[in-house]
Structure 1
Amino acid sequence: MRLSYYFLPTLKENPSEAQIISHRLMLRTGMIFQASAGIYAWLPLGTRVLRKIEQIVREEQDRTGAQEILMPTIQSAELWRESGRYDAYGLEMLRITDRHDREMLYSPTAEELVTDIARKHIKSYRDLPRMMYQIQWKFRDEIRPRFGVMRGREFLMKDCYSFDLNYEGALVSYRKMLEAYIKTFSRMGLTAIPVKADSGAIGGDLSQEFQVLASTGESLVFYDQALDSIVKNKGEVDVNRLMSLYAAEEGLHDPQKCPVPEDQLKTARGIEVGHIFYFATKYSDAFNACVTGKDGETIPLHMGSYGIGVSRLVGALIEANHDEAGIIWPESVAPFIVGLLNLKPGDNKCDTLCEEIYHKFLNQGIEVLYDDRNERPGAKFANMDLIGIPWQIRVGTRTMETGQIEMKCRRSGEIQELSFESALTSLKKRMAT
């Protein structure tokens, strides 16, 4: 993509309405545009990051055997009355009346609808287990939307639902999701600690939140230091070990009852990005969602719910990956892998070489943003640092003299001179791992 044609409305100054780093940087880099309070349009740069995150989430869900569906954002109030949550949910639910005076709502979550699907189509123990997920927009009418996409009213969420014959089966599904979440966040370069949590309005007996560790996090998390090595591991996850280790938020942490020795207990700030629940037969009882067992008995479905805030993760990633110059994207979620900078636009040799390099990247399947604008080098450097592309390839007068390009690592700040072919080989190796 050529920057001269790319819609990237960056800002030089911090917007006055943005209170936290991720909100400031998302506005400054032109990732989002505020449409109204707590509601944002996602512009090209932000959309690319959102889709990268979405794809990682999708791949790890698929590996568990969960199957993707898509449910409507507008749901019937009657379904929610069956569960008893239509009135109980409170003012966060956006209620709507259609032209026929039917009461509808903009979905804040989808337990009711997915249970309705299950009760009509899952009839026998032979149909179990089942897991279904969607990546869909939700709406919760926050009284004070703030912090940009971290606490907006409209948000993109992955919500998965499991259906099992009994507690033992439900626990298998829960453990699969627990492992999938660790792998998902690890692939994004995040340290996410699963902590004991309150089930809230959804209900449930077993519940854990995933807190991404970041110095700017709004929650204080206490956890066994042994968790560090597990959640950062990109290989197999020891689920038994993971579930045995202590982690809790400040409100649920009791120093007197904490099983972890003081010298092994760590504290950190965290940002909630996911939540998993097992809620037994709470919804299947309300909806009479049952299957026929081996001996002909009627058995209510055991269910679990597993959410990841996909759009919220964009903000969390920035909170955990930034410096004074701007964003530092992990390669797995970066909008582009390479930023190609033409430091002498208008010079025939430099323009020709940059075009050659640009097309070589494209032919190798490497996502590149080519800054071909007639701007000063300093402005181009600052812009690339701001939007956080992992690698910068700089081509200028010195390149014409030595045949060497400059390659800058955004995260470390290290700049090295090497041939373009060496740079290309290095990037291809990184993409292959």
Structure 2
Amino acid sequence: MKEFEKRLRREIDEIKIVDTHEHIEPEEERIKKKIDFFHWFSHYASSDLVSAGMPPEVLNECRNVNKPLEERWQKFAPYWECIRTTSYGKALMLAAKDLYGVNDINQKTYIKLSQKISGANKKGLYKSVLKDKAGIEISLHPQDVNYFNLLDRKFFVPVIYIDGLVGIWNRDNIRALEKGFEREIHSIESIIEIMESAIDRAKKEGAVGAKCGLAYTRILKFDEVESDIAETVFEKIAKGEQVDAKPLQDFLMHRMLEILVRCGMPLQIHTGIQEGNGNFIINSNPAHLTNLFFKYPVLRFDIFHAGYPYSSELAVLAKNFANVYADMCWMYVITPTVSKRVLHEWIDTIPNNKIFGFGGDYIFVEGAYAHSVFAREVIYQVLIEKYKHGYLGQKECIILARKLLRINAGEFFGIKD
């Protein structure tokens, strides 16, 4: 038993990950900035700070690198004590320890840690952290098609954002499309032509999928809408009138899915917990997407964030629909405890080729590193428990680990070994 435990841990540690989702800023952009400890509070842990009671304006002051670090720490410290026990906080402490040799984040260590973060902010950081330490071979990175050139293809493969193409709320959104694609929009047909052009261009430039994040701003229920109703909504929006934009967005989403089917491009969809503070969690239940799974059986859907807290609903959807895949991206750093339960359940219920085991979903590389450590540990614990209970054999455990962290995503997105 002990020998296999060691072998399985070694096997998992050696897997080069295909990471389904990151937001990491380009290295060239990062190294131009003045970076200190508070760069780690770009997101996630920052939301916990606000949840713990930190006023948003104080958070902004803490991020201001032009103010004395000591002054910012004093404002930050009381709230840090409240969030250091969350998974977001633990991820930062793990990064501090493993990457910078600082064993805790406290009054005695924050200056040293900040200096080390600043000192490491130079060319080569991404290779060191992402490839050498995290063992991430390649990451999928959502981006507007007009900014694919910002992605370093040694680290990232593009995925095209569709929110700006589908999520038309007001006249400013129409103007933004006109500016971004250098053409006038006079009708819904004009928008559809832009969508077709954007997807075709994205595919030619190496995009392996599309990404929808509209669960942050609306319900994920996309009804079928008649074209004349959608056109009426468009005309009112184009005139600057206030109107419920959902019928137009629903119509455009269906047209987008038809385009993706023609192009053979899968769609990643944000479901479950929304980053930030204050939102309508019920809007992001993956069950809202069921009509799309029925209507577009050829289109493959990569459903994000384990649907958390709707992870069991996602398990049933992935079990029942051949075109629905379940993705653990972001999940381990939200809660390793629930991630472990979810993976146990998913292995029981979902064909094992349909589970994607990791997506870091961080803005900064240190977070992606810490998240990868969380993921490997949870996957190890789940597999070894299933082995000890007789549910999985040794060979099954090793194959599953490789599938979860590399093979499944690689095959789904056409990323060659």
On whether the aligned pair clears a TM of 0.5, the verdict is no
Q: Of Structure 1 and Structure 2, which has the larger fraction of its residues in helix?
A: 2
TM-score by length of 2: 0.28
Greater RCO structure (CA 8 Å; 6+ sep): 2
More strand, by proportion: 1
- After TM superposition, the score normalised by the length of structure 1 is 0.28
